[in-house]
Structure 1
C-alpha cells in the first residue's frame, strides 16, 4: 500500500501517478503478475490544502510518500530502489525536478501477521502460500 500526501494541485494527473507508483512497487518487489498482487498493490493520493503542513522553518511544498509492505518484503537493494524511483516519479509527475529535494519516502513494514487481506490477518508464510495457491489455480485453469 502506498499513500502520497501533497498539496492540492501538485500533480496534474493523480490517478496516473497512483498507477505508476503501484506498478513500480510491484516490479521492485518482484512479485508474480497474478491477480492477488495486481488487485492488492495500490496507491492513494491524498491532496491536502496548501499551507496545512510545514517543516520547522515554516516551509511547505513537500511531498510525503509512505510505503507499507509486509514484514521483510524489501531487502536493502529494494529499499534503495523504492526511495530512488518513487522520488523521481513524484518529481516527474509534478513537473518539478526540484521537488525531489522536498520528497520524503517512508518505508514501513506491517507487523508479522498484520497484513489484512480477504478478511484475514496473514503472516508472511500465509501470504506466500496464498500466492502459490493462486498460481496453482491459474495454472490448472490454463
Structure 2
C-alpha cells in the first residue's frame, strides 16, 4: 500500500491525475499485492507542483522530478526496487512528454518503520496489515 509523492515544477505534467493513477497502479502491480479494495483504496500518489524557482540542483538547473515511494517495511525486495525505479522513471518521462527527463528523475524508496504505517486511525504493524488483507480476502471469498 505505497504512498507516492511526486515533486516537480508546475507545468511539468499536462495530466497530473492520470500520472498519479499510473504511478500508483505501477507500484501496486510491482508489489504483487492482492487485487482487493483495501489495496486499491490505500495505494495513492500525490503530485506536488512547485512554483518556478523552488527547485534547483547545485548548478541552478530546475528541470528535475523527485518521486518518493513510501512502503511498509519489506514490501520491496531488490528486484522490486529495481522495477519500481525503472518503471516510475519511464512513467514520469512519458507523462512530461520529455524522454530526457528520465536522466533528471530521482526516485527515493523509503520504508516505514514497523508500526509506523498509519491506516484507519491506527499505527499498523506489517503483521496487522497482512492480517487485514487476509480478512478482506476471506470476506470477499465468502461473498460478504
What TM-score range do you get, normalising by the shorter chain? Answer: over 0.9
Distance in 2 (alpha carbons) for counterparts of 1:17 and 1:78: 20
Partner of 1:3: 5
CA RMSD of aligned residues (A): 0.7
Q: 1:17 Cα deviation (Å)?
A: 0.3
Moved over 4 A (4+): none
- Aligned pair partner of 2:58 in 56, 59, 66: 56
TM value normalised by structure 1? 0.98
**What does residue 108 of structure 1 align with?**
110
Partner of 2:44: 42
**Counterparts of residues 14-29 of structure 1 (less than 5 Å):** 14-29=16-31
Equivalent in the alignment of 1:96: 98
Unaligned runs of 5+ in 1: none
User: In the TM superposition, what whole-angstrom CA distance separates every residue of 1:113-142 from its partner, at most 9, and x where no partner exists?
Assistant: 000111111111111000000000111116
Deviation at 1:6, TM superposition (A): 0.4
Q: Give the drift of 1:81.
A: 0.2
In structure 2, how many angstroms separate the alpha carbons of the residues matched to 1:117 and 1:134? 15
- Structure 2 unaligned regions, length at least 5: none
Pairwise CA distance, 1:52 = 1.1
CA distance in 2, matches of 1:52, 1:24: 28
- Secondary structure at the counterpart of residue 35 of structure 2: coil
SS at match of 1:33: coil
